[in-house]
Structure 1
């Protein structure tokens, strides 16, 4: 996703700011929204801690895995982690202090650093800058809901850690359902630039045109508050983004609903989210082994359960499995 600006407290933590009230907010309504944002939300039956005091699950270092790290990283003693500066709950987002990044991605990254005997150092940047930083060596690894794709695999190595599903989120009460390309023909859909869901949406639109149907009108947004405002005002019919974010927001806000869920790798393959590192830099193997250690010792399962994402658990981390096909589009 393209995320250039830090979201406000209400938008980032709960994504329930003005976008979530389907009419304009008065001053008192805005005050109530801010108060609600600091409450403890419940998603998928799980109470979510939005405070900066996260008490993350920790795990012991494993010397045999740490010894496989590139020497420069071992000597430095830190793992330079890139993540999105404008993500949304429950993936990576800002706590109630509006400066501490929290979420399932930061929890997993922190636990991986534990196994590797390193101190995690988070670098919150715009989506595109994640890859620029990996290319230059500024960042060691990205934990930011990055999908394994064949195109990305030309430049990056992947160690998978979660199923990748994407979803269409529409206003509550909508009778429209999305089962495939025909259902979005002529619709206006919001999406983040540079994501695999954008690629899938543009491919679906092209399929619609070939069938003689209307193309999809694609609208681009940079922050959760922007696309939820567009959804609330009717400027878009749905937003197409990560399923965890859509499910969390629909559950917590009560003003939207998920109208279609799909694999992030297309119709023929189950997508995977992966730790992403520069190709051939020697880091993917210890990352993979660290993730498998977390799966083995139960820390991984606890982290996913904490964020209501147990349904996205993988049985093991894989290195560079088949990803979203490169169609050349």
Structure 2
């Protein structure tokens, strides 16, 4: 579910951008293929702090999928973009530059299925779809909701089903148990994300019922929105439930997580719509990971079992 913003960026500004921070690659060597067959590939090990490292390292290339993958993956590797700082989906290892978390783990797993090296770049959320459309990246995997609006820009292969949640102060001094309790309260959200859309919907519902409006505070990222709650300026912040649960597990933050029922939607891996060979390859790799049980083990490593999908669906967001 998107809780971060997406805006159109000027192509010139994007192309002038420097290489993103936090890039991490899994480089492997490959011998020249014989008799038209796909070459064997030796891939680097997953980062040691990656919770799903053992699962990733055990994944071997699928010969048929690797043969059908775009030829550029063999020479250039799979170029992936995400936005680090969204636990447990995307976080930095202790070195401050290696991306780990479920999204990087799945990207590495897909690359291994396709017999390709992978580079995972960390970019601001707004830059990700433009980066894919200009060819800088092959796909984005960044806790991004598959929505009809985004489907006009990219084609998604949906990889989890997730819902929204709220973070409130520990002990719930504002006595918030659901959206109806937000009337007359201050709520912090990420600007132009689905959390903002939810907040605006709850505000409209309050007004419709003749209750005080919701005061919605908008910020560039989740951390800024969370600070409004811990600092007392807002009584709640809306985000993805998996992120809310992760934050609530940190005793230093002194916050509690609440789920928002009925908000579940698919998150997708976004690619250029005309990059059909890659779309088919990513879908095939995800289906293979699901069938083998490796996908379930990746989720389990990050305690995200409830997000599982049964098959890879293209543009399943409605």
TM-score range, shorter chain: 0.7 to 0.9
Alignment of 1:84-233 (within 5 A): 84-85=83-84, 87-174=85-172, 176-180=175-179, 182-233=180-231
Identify which range, 168-177 or 145-154, moves more after superposition.
Answer: 168-177
Q: 1:236-274, CA deviations, whole angstroms, 9 ceiling, x for partnerless residues?
A: 11111111111111123272112332344xxxxx41111
Residue-pair matches, total: 271
Q: CA deviation at 1:96?
A: 1.7
Q: Does the CA contact (< 8 Å) of 1:177 and 1:260 recur in 2?
A: no
Note the alpha carbon deviations across 1:179-228, whole angstroms, 9 max, x for none.
34x33222211111232222222233233333333332222233454333
Segments of 5+ residues of structure 1 without an aligned counterpart are 4-48, 265-269, 324-329
Query: Does the 8 Å contact 2:241/2:258 carry over to 1?
Result: no
Question: Which of 261, 272, 284 is 2:266 aligned to?
Answer: 272
1:62 corresponds to 2:62 = yes
* SS at 2:146 equivalent: coil
C-alpha spacing 1:276/1:93, structure 2 compared with 1 (3 Å): same
Any conservation in 1 of the 2:89–2:103 contact (CA below 8 Å)?
yes
- 5+ long unaligned stretches in structure 2: 6-46
Cα shift at 1:313: 1.1
Q: Which residue of 2 aligns with 1:299?
A: 294
CA distance in 2, matches of 1:90, 1:274: 16
TM-score w.r.t. structure 1 length?
0.75
Question: In the superposition, relative to structure 1, how do residues 295 and 123 fare at CA in structure 2: closer, same or farther (>3 Å)?
Answer: same
Native 8 Å contact 1:141 1:277 kept in 2: yes
Task: Report the Cα distance in structure 2 between the residues aligned to 1:67 and 1:200, rounded to whole angstroms.
Answer: 44
Return the offset for 1:56: 5.0
| Residue pair 1:295, 1:316 contacting (<8 A) in 2 also | yes
In the alignment, what sits opposite 1:17? none
Scaled by the length of structure 2, what TM-score is found? 0.78
| DSSP 3-state at the match of 2:314 | coil
- How many Å apart are 1:167 and its aligned residue? 0.2
**Alpha-carbon separation, structure 2, partners of 1:159 and 1:62:** 19
Task: Give the 5 Å matches for 1:229-268.
Answer: 229-253=227-251, 255-264=254-263
